[in-house]
Amino acid sequence: MSEETKQIYYGKLLNQKWPIYLAATDKGICFVGSLNGGKTELNEWLKKINAIDLAKHNPDKLAYCVNQLEEYFKGERTHFHLPLDIKGTPFQEKVWAELLNIPYGGTLTYGELAKRIGNPRASRAVGTAIGKNPLLILIPCHRVSHKNGQVSGYRGPINMKVDLLALEKQKRKSLIVK
């Protein structure tokens, strides 16, 4: 998130299956929580970035993001068109940018992602950077798996990652069949 940020707005996606907290600045989305992470997860993130006093409940400021996430969960959206406002280390930002290149319904291993960013021995560092991703779903870290193919490592609950992969796999099959 940018240093100039003065205000953070938060709200909750009220989807029955996917209740998650979201936060944004006037520049863009800065946080997407995990499945059932609740307001506690949002508050922990706000404390981590020293912004707990900057947060105001304002779901209207997040309506554009909520709409796109709802479409995604219904299988109607495969790409997001949202302004983002995140800040990480140069390495984290490089990893997060590469995550955006993993196609909908596709997966990569941590090692493959490390190779893609030009640092083939950095698979553990890639995993750490992925774990710091503040925008679950929007920056699709759920599309990265262990080299043995197992679903592992996720900021949210592992069942969220499994469900997101299943949602995308099912939709991708229907797109190919048509």
Nearest to 152 by CA among 110, 97, 111, 98: 110
CA 77 to CA 171: how far, in whole Å?
Answer: 10
- The catalytic residue among 13, 51, 139, 141 is 141
Q: At what angle do helices 123-131 and 90-99 cross, to 10 degrees?
A: 90
Q: How many CA atoms lie within 13 A of 160 on its CB side?
A: 20
Encode 96-121: b = buried (16+ Cβ within 10 Å), e = exposed.
bebbeebeebebbbbbbbbbbbeeee
The SS3 assignment for 81 reads coil
Residue with tokens 């707990």: 52
Phi, psi of 58 (to 5 degrees): -155, 80
CA 8 to CA 28: how far, in whole Å?
Answer: 10
Active site residue 141: yes
Residues forming the active site: 141
